[in-house]
Amino acid sequence: MVRFRHVLCCALSFVVAGGGLTSTSADDRPLDYQRNVRPILADKCFQCHGPDAGHRQADLRLDMAPPKDGSAIRPGHPDDSEIIRRIESSDPETRMPPARSGKAITPAETAILRRWIAEGARWSDHWAYVTPAKRAAPGAGGIPGAAHWIDAFLLERLQRDGRQFAPAADRVTLLRRLSFDLRGLPPSPEEVRTFVADVDPRAVEKVVDRYLASDEYGERMATVWLDLVRFADTVGYHGDQVHHITPYRDWVIDAFIDDMPFDQFTREQLAGDLLPDATVDQRIASGYNRLLQTSHEGGVQEKEYLAMYAADRVRNLSAVWLGATVGCAPCHDHKFDPYTQRDFYALAAFFADLDEAQHLKRGSDASPTVRAPELRVHTRRERAELAAIDDQILALRNRPTGDEQKEATAKQIADLEARKMSLEKAARLTMISAAIEPRTIRLLPRGNWLDESGPIIEPAVPSFLGGLNVKGRRPTRLDLARWLTDPRDGAGLLTARVMVNRFWAILFGAGLSRSLEDFGAQGEAPDHPELLDRLAVGFVENGWRIKPLLRQIVLTRAYQQSSVASDRSTDPDNRLLSRQARFRLPAEMIRDNALAISGLLVRQLGGPSVHPYQPAGYYKHLNFPKRDYHADNDARQWRRGLYVHWQRQFLHPMLKAFDAPRREECVPRRSRSNTPLAALALLNDPSFIEAARAFAARILAAGATDEDRINAAFEIAVSRTPDDRERVILLKLLQESRSAFLVRGDDAAARVLATGLAPQAKDHPTREVAAWTMVARALLNLSETVTRP
């Protein structure tokens, strides 16, 4: 990775005094500039004394090493340093930061700055922009309990504080964790029993390899990527009409299933249409460039919206691949990071060859709308089946047959042709990229799209990150994609660091740097920087393959330890990773989990978006055009949440209640709220009621006595048998429900079972099925059921 000429300061908004990792001997060691000092300067000082030359005050930069002969910071002499004098001044006219900034440096922060200057004011480049090194594991394998080099990095830090990993998780917990993390689904009772009984030392490895080889793995990982690239079924602005893009989602799923190298994954999305002899799949992948929000309102100003679209693309590109907030620089240089306004427009210029103006002329407020260029495509499985059908038909027609066989052969051919016709009708439109003559990109003074006085800007990468080795021609999106994943002459190792951090977060609930979205000055530095560096370098050296990376992480002691800790007081945020994380499942996974438990889940791969139940009238405020929502009335109701129709302005209420994003912007990290709305959705959403009814039928078929059925229900829902207290509570609920339906009669019980498509338990009285449905609803609402252990 290129070494940067002007490197900006760090990230760690949380650490200052009393934050971040602690140590029993921390007071004996010099302050760490990255961890202790830069967060204060970045938060309190950079806005006026940072990289934005146009708004810099007093010609003072604090994002770079202080000049040795300067008066602002005199190493070894805090009392003679102007910065300390200004911070401690009692005069509001000279005190820094000024009151108008809304910032104030606390006494504890002042003490840190004083101590730092007294210790020599040692400065270092921003961690994210320093080339990662493949560091040797501490102790050269001599760390007690560290069988894996990842464990060695973590244990060395833990043992320095006299701590250890938590005990290993029990086998059931570990299997549930692996199943949710790698497939997004719970393990079946049969899987649990097989794994618990497997005495093979490679039992965990076998499960991991099976999960990584599954189609469900591709669906689970696709959800993460679709959040990053803001995939949605609708345009977002104004009428929020449907646009054609679902084949892109299927391409992403297949890419993860195939373990496509991430550098290739990048090239095909940013520039699939520019690759030599681009395949159908590569053109589908280029739909990434079309995922932004667009407007189809008749009165839009073309120049205004083209400027908005350019800004959208720069925001997403920089966030997804660089962990950067270049989107902050359309009006001025970045306030905190070394990205300039020119860098912003130079990145936008790479996308000037995309004909996004077509929809402003041809698009309409119909839904679906027109967003040319579009391509009608089949999935790769449909294409393979069509080719196989053609081969079979040809073989049948060329096969010699007697009179008695002609009729049978003709029927076979007719059946194949009917299937072929059905498949041909299944083709879907999808937006793609198609290069045109690039339009002129100008630097817009103060971001004003009406002001065309700024200079013309050619495509280029951010200047402090180096440059492109392109001579005699205009750089293209393909050049940009290659640069993003070039570890030697491009930003490849920065990209690797960003992505590895996100993959780690999938498996631990948080990244090694908690800032999945921002590796700049306003983010957080990693808690274990050497480990992050080695993982990033290894990711590149292993061919940018994601499956081997995830495999090596989940086979560590760190991953397989218990999430239960006897004492959380000294590390409440688990930054030392002395235990695993326990957290609520993502929205789609909560839906998938309930459907899997109930037995309703349809495991079809790919296809158009589906429409589960949602409240009547939810779309009443959608206009241009007015539209009604029609829930699917077949097995599409029970497909995975990944395939649910994603309406940006009116996201499905269940997904919204559980913090799924609207996908208007890149979302590397979802929030996790705890609200009554989520509990009510889990209890009353028709999809969950239907799942409970189907689960009740499954429970009734699983045993002859109430106790046997309760045991089976618990095993299906949370992979274990209930304890005595839990069994008593559920039996009491069952009896109370039976009594209630006895009093209210069959009509009340029938109302519980009346709606929906789920199959009924026909061999049992209506009131009995309704009573067990109440038990099933309780189990689906357990915290344990919706929690990744």
**Residue whose tokens read 């002499």:** 77
Strands (E), 698-788: 787-788
**Residue whose tokens read 């609520």:** 584
Q: Number of C-alpha atoms within 13 angstroms, CB side, residue 220?
A: 25
State the pLDDT at residue 15. 34
Q: How far apart are CA 688 and CA 238, in angstroms?
A: 32
Q: How far apart are CA 746 and CA 740, in angstroms?
A: 11
DSSP for 736-749, please give it.
HHHHHHHHH-HHHH
The predicted-structure confidence for 727-771, as pLDDT tens digits, reads as follows: 999 999 999 999 999 888 877 777 877 767 777 777 888 899 999
Q: How far apart are CA 541 and CA 502, in angstroms?
A: 18
Under the banding of pLDDT at 50, 70 and 90, the label for residue 68 is: low
Find the DSSP H helices in 199-261.
203-212, 215-228, 246-257
The predicted-structure confidence for 292-338, as pLDDT tens digits, reads as follows: 999 998 888 999 999 999 999 999 999 999 999 999 999 999 999 99
The predicted-structure confidence for 443-462, as pLDDT tens digits, reads as follows: 999 999 999 999 999 999 99
Q: How far apart are CA 380 and CA 250, in angstroms?
A: 9
Spell out the residues 6+ positions from residue 578 whose beta carbon is closer than 8 angstroms to its own: 158, 163, 164, 165, 166, 565, 571
pLDDT, mean of residues 534-561: 98
Q: How far apart are CA 646 and CA 312, in angstroms?
A: 19
Under the banding of pLDDT at 50, 70 and 90, the label for residue 4 is: very low
The 3-state secondary structure of 530-596, one letter per residue: HHHHHHHHHHHHCCCCHHHHHHHHHCCHHHHECCCCCCCCCCCCCCCCCCCCCEECCHHHHHHHHHH
Residue 140: pLDDT over 80: no
Structure tokens at 550: 């995830």
The predicted-structure confidence for 457-477, as pLDDT tens digits, reads as follows: 999 999 999 999 998 999 999
Structure tokens at 330: 């359309």
State the pLDDT at residue 529. 95
Residue 13: pLDDT over 60: no
Distances (CA, A) of 205 to 3, 185, 556, 563, 580: 39, 18, 11, 20, 19
Q: How far apart are CA 366 and CA 358, in angstroms?
A: 15
DSSP, res 169:
P
Distances (CA, A) of 42 to 115, 159, 335, 633: 18, 31, 10, 55
Q: Number of C-alpha atoms within 13 angstroms, CB side, residue 175?
A: 23
Which range has the worst mean pLDDT, 78-87, 205-214, 378-387, 668-677?
78-87
CB 199 within 8 A of CB 633: no
Structure tokens at 20: 């971040």
Q: How far apart are CA 99 and CA 134, in angstroms?
A: 45
Q: Indicate the SS3 state at residue 197.
A: helix
State the pLDDT at residue 595. 98
- Dihedral in degrees, nearest 10, Cα atoms 473, 478, 484, 490: -30
State the pLDDT at residue 3. 37
Residue 558: pLDDT over 60: yes
Q: Indicate the SS3 state at residue 323.
A: coil
pLDDT, mean of residues 610-639: 95
CB atoms within 10 A of CB 782: 14
State the pLDDT at residue 1. 42
pLDDT, mean of residues 565-574: 80
| Per-chain mean pLDDT for the chain | 92
Q: How far apart are CA 750 and CA 760, in angstroms?
A: 11
State the pLDDT at residue 439. 96
State the pLDDT at residue 306. 95
The predicted-structure confidence for 18-53, as pLDDT tens digits, reads as follows: 344 544 444 567 888 888 888 898 888 888 888 887
Helix axes 706-718, 189-197, angle to 10 degrees: 80
Residue 259: pLDDT over 90: yes
State the pLDDT at residue 17. 32
Q: How far apart are CA 789 and CA 779, in angstroms?
A: 16
pLDDT, mean of residues 143-150: 85
Q: How far apart are CA 780 and CA 598, in angstroms?
A: 9
Residue 532 — φ and ψ, nearest 5°? -60, -40
CB atoms within 10 A of CB 142: 10
The predicted-structure confidence for 728-739, as pLDDT tens digits, reads as follows: 999 999 999 999
The predicted-structure confidence for 648-677, as pLDDT tens digits, reads as follows: 999 999 999 999 999 999 999 999 999 999
Which range has the worst mean pLDDT, 62-76, 95-109, 142-156, 624-638?
62-76
Under the banding of pLDDT at 50, 70 and 90, the label for residue 12 is: very low
pTM of the model: 0.92
Distances (CA, A) of 481 to 202, 239, 289, 327: 39, 33, 12, 18
What percent of the chain is modeled with pLDDT above 70? 95
Closest Cα to residue 600, out of 780, 397, 409?
780
Specify the higher pLDDT residue, 30 or 617. Answer: 617
Q: How far apart are CA 716 and CA 699, in angstroms?
A: 9
Q: How far apart are CA 351 and CA 439, in angstroms?
A: 9
For the chain, count helices (H), then strands (E): 30, 4
pLDDT, mean of residues 586-599: 98
DSSP for 15-34, please give it.
-STT-S---TTGGGSPPPII
The predicted-structure confidence for 496-543, as pLDDT tens digits, reads as follows: 999 999 999 999 999 999 999 999 999 999 999 999 999 999 999 999
Structure tokens at 787: 């929690």
Residue 14: pLDDT over 70: no
State the pLDDT at residue 26. 47
Which range has the worst mean pLDDT, 90-104, 286-300, 407-421?
90-104
Q: How far apart are CA 294 and CA 308, in angstroms?
A: 9
